[in-house]
Amino acid sequence: MVATILAPPEHKTVLVVEDNVWSRKLLETRLEIHGFRSVTSTDGEAALEIAREQRPDLILMDIQLPGISGIEAIRRLKRDERTRAIPIIAVTAFALSSDKTKILNSGCDAYVSKPIDSTALMGLIERYTR
């Protein structure tokens, strides 16, 4: 009998940028359940550094952050050739259409509003990391 050696599951890495501890933990747990590895950052500046050093497969970016905003962080990530190709999903509590426009113009690949629909978000993450 020949043993079948299964390849280890491909763990994609998601960088979660979220300053709220509960939102962050919820996202980390969801990602783990879906087989993703997550790295976290509580602010945009640190996220830029982590993105450059670790090259995650995707970034989930909260918009309201201490220090530089998620919008500014997305702009910088998309301007930097080292991080430009990483898909970014913006996560925001903003509901105003002017904010939506600003967020979409920042260069993010997709956008979700809080409260987060986890099923929809995981679907998006899977699509963008495929």
Q: How far is the CB of 115 from Mn ion (least distance, A)?
A: 13
Closest to Mn ion by CB, 56 vs 70, is 70
Q: Distance between CA atoms of 23 and 129, rounded to whole angstroms?
A: 21
Closest to Mn ion by CB, 12 vs 44, is 44
Kindly state the tokens that stand for 1: 């009998």
Closest to Mn ion by CB, 19 vs 109, is 19
Q: Distance between CA atoms of 115 and 20, rounded to whole angstroms?
A: 13
Q: How far is the CB of 96 from Mn ion (least distance, A)?
A: 16
Q: How far is the CB of 62 from Mn ion (least distance, A)?
A: 4
Which residue minimizes CB distance to Mn ion?
Answer: 64
Closest to Mn ion by CB, 12 vs 31, is 31
Which residues lie near Mn ion (CB under 5 A)? Answer: 19, 62, 64
Q: How far is the CB of 69 from Mn ion (least distance, A)?
A: 10
